[in-house]
Structure 1
Amino acid sequence: MAKKYSSYDQINADLEMIKLEREIHLQHILLNVEKTKESIQPENLFKEALKSLQFKLSSSYGMILQIAIPYFINWLIHKKRGD
């Protein structure tokens, strides 16, 4: 439904609000572009890859230990026996 205005001041107030909203959205887009440019720089890509790898290893650390410890104990037992 179309908004009805009773004065030019109301129209100007709405136009000013629309102009400010547009400027806010434009600045938001520009900020996102800058963040994207920073994130795709080689040094930042490398850092993010290391963080991702570290997270994956830390989340699977318990499972790795559950698998590795029995093999390590078995190896120690056979090593002491001289096998």
Structure 2
Amino acid sequence: MERKKYSSYDEINRELEILKVQKELDYRRLVYAVEKTRDDLTPGVFTSGVVRSIGSFFTKSGTIQNLLIGFIFNRLFK
């Protein structure tokens, strides 16, 4: 990394302010990511997500759906 050369204290102070704002923004993004992850891992959200994933798998999979329907018809009509 190349060292910057400053010609005045005002330039240094402006650069420090920019770095301070960037640091605060990065911190808030990190806090948001942690909170979102924690919320996503709560039992209710986690369970509904798993159920939704399983449901979408069965509705999108024609082969499994056909097998299940065939199995049900065989049981009912025997």
Normalising to structure 1: TM-score of the pair?
0.74
Residue segments in structure 2 that go unaligned for 5+ positions in a row: none
Q: Structure 1's 51 and 66: CA in aligned 2 closer, same or farther, altered over 3 A?
A: closer
Give 1:6's aligned amino acid.
Answer: S
> Rg larger in 1 or in 2?
1
Alignment correspondent of 2:4: 3
How many pairs does the alignment contain?
A: 74
Aligned identity (percent) is: 32
| Closer, same or farther: CA 35–3 of 1 in aligned 2, 3 Å | same
Q: Deviations over 1:16-40 (max 9, x none)?
A: 0000000000000100111111111
Distance 2:70 2:59 in 1: 20
Q: Normalization by structure 2: what TM-score?
A: 0.78
Q: Distance in 2 between matches of 1:26 and 1:44?
A: 26
Q: CA deviation at 1:69?
A: 6.7
Unaligned runs of 5+ in 1: none
Cα distance in structure 2, aligned partners of 1:65 and 1:34: 38
Name 1:50's counterpart in structure 2.
51
Instruction: Label 1:70 to 1:31 Cα distance change in 2 as closer, same or farther (>3 A).
Output: closer
**Aligned pairs (5 A) from 1:64-83:** 64-67=64-67
